[in-house]
Amino acid sequence: MGYRHLVTTALLGALLLAAPAHAETLNLLIWEAYIDDAVLTDFTAATGIEVRQTYYDSGDERDEVLSNPDSDVDVVVTGENGAKLFGERGVLAPLTTENTPSLSDYTAEWTDRCGGYGMPYLWGTMGILYRSDKVTPQPTSWADLMAPAESLKGHVAMFEDHNEAFIAPLVLLGKSINANDNETLKAAYELMKKQSAYVLTYDYVITSIQNPELGPNIYMALGYSGDQHVLNEKVGADRLWHYTVPKEGTLSWLDCLAVNAHSKRKAAALRFVDFVGRPENAARIALSLNMPTASTGALAHIPAEMRANPEIYPPAEIMAKSQFQEELTVPSVQARRRIISSLVQFRDAR
DSSP β-bridge partners for residue 288? none
pTM: 0.86
The top-level CATH class assigned to 3-123+253-313 is: alpha beta
b vs e for 175-190, b when ≥16 Cβ sit within 10 Å of the residue's Cβ?
bebbbbeeebbebbbe
Q: What is the pLDDT of residue 346?
A: 80
Q: How far is CA 152 from CA 140, 156, 217, 323, in A?
A: 16, 7, 10, 28
Q: What is the pLDDT of residue 140?
A: 95
**CATH 3.40.190.10-classified regions of the chain:** 3-123+253-313, 124-251+323-349
- H or E element in which residue 141 lies: none
For domain 124-251+323-349, the question of CATH label 3.20.20.30 is answered with no
Q: State the 10-residue block means of pLDDT for the chain, 350 residues long.
A: 38 50 84 96 98 93 92 96 96 98 97 97 96 96 97 96 94 96 97 96 95 97 94 93 94 96 97 98 96 96 94 88 92 96 83
Three-state DSSP at 31 gives strand
Q: By C-alpha distance, which of 97, 194, 186 is closest to 148?
A: 194
Cis geometry, peptide bond prior to residue 137 (ω within 30 degrees of 0): yes
